Amino acid sequence: MSGSLIKIDEEIVTSAVASVTLTGIDSTYDVYMVRYNNAIPNTDSSSFRFRVTVSGTADTTANYDTANKQLTSDTTFVNNSSTNATEFGIITLGTAGNESSNGIIYLFNFNNASEYSFVTYETTDRNTNGALRGSQGGGVHTVAQSCDGLEFFFSNGSDFDTGSTFTLYGLKK
């Protein structure tokens, strides 16, 4: 796989920010990938979310459907799903015990204006009591439009703590 990931955009949080946006998706690649590391909120009980962007602006319409399975080291698995939401949801994090999220998101059909954009993702997280969690899932943005990126944010208005890193790659054909 060496040489097949082409870096398009990267944002490293150096001071608290409410959202992070990655853009640069065009027709160059069929599939794009986002890697994020140390997504940490600066307030407790923060739901980590993302949206597609159109011309660099987040699409906030209620057209996001998603489902995932979460495996947790301290309890049984959880199935999550939502339809007609205003964003894709990943996980709820807090500030205690160094809670954080890391993940990879694959993006499909983003530059195709006649198809829905969809994502698959895999995440690893640590919660407030140090329990490890892993999630695998996907979602579809049910609007046929050309999308050029993603916006990441916390649903309760929390800022990203410093050290969070987000990178957009194109997957070479």
Kindly write down the DSSP assignment for every residue of 90-155, as one continuous string. EEEE-SGGG-EEEEEEEEESTT-TTSEEEEEEEEEEE-TTS-EEEEEEEEEEEEES---EEEEEET
Domain ranges of the chain: 5-171
Which comes out higher in pLDDT, residue 172 or 2?
172
Copy the structure tokens of residue 172. Answer: 């070479």
Write the pLDDT tens digit of every residue in 28-67: 999 999 999 988 888 776 788 999 999 999 999 999 999 9
The pLDDT score that the predictor gives to residue 96 is: 55
Distance CA 39, CA 46 (A): 11
Segment among 87-91, 103-107, 143-147 with least mean pLDDT: 87-91
Is 80 exceeded by the pLDDT of residue 113? Answer: yes
Torsion sign, CA atoms 133, 138, 143, 146: positive
Is 70 exceeded by the pLDDT of residue 2? Answer: no
Neighbours of 65 (CB within 10 A): 17
Fold observed for domain 5-171: Jelly Rolls (2.60.120)
Is 90 exceeded by the pLDDT of residue 116? Answer: yes
Which comes out higher in pLDDT, residue 135 or 33?
33
Enter the pTM of the model.
0.92
* Contact indicator for 142, 63 with CB cutoff of 8 Å: yes
Percent of the chain at pLDDT > 70 equals 94
The pLDDT score that the predictor gives to residue 31 is: 97
The pLDDT score that the predictor gives to residue 47 is: 82
Residue 103: closest CA among 44, 59, 164: 164
Torsion sign, CA atoms 109, 6, 3, 103: negative
- C-alpha triplet 41, 137, 102: angle, nearest 5°: 35
Please tell me what DSSP assigns to residue 62.
Answer: S
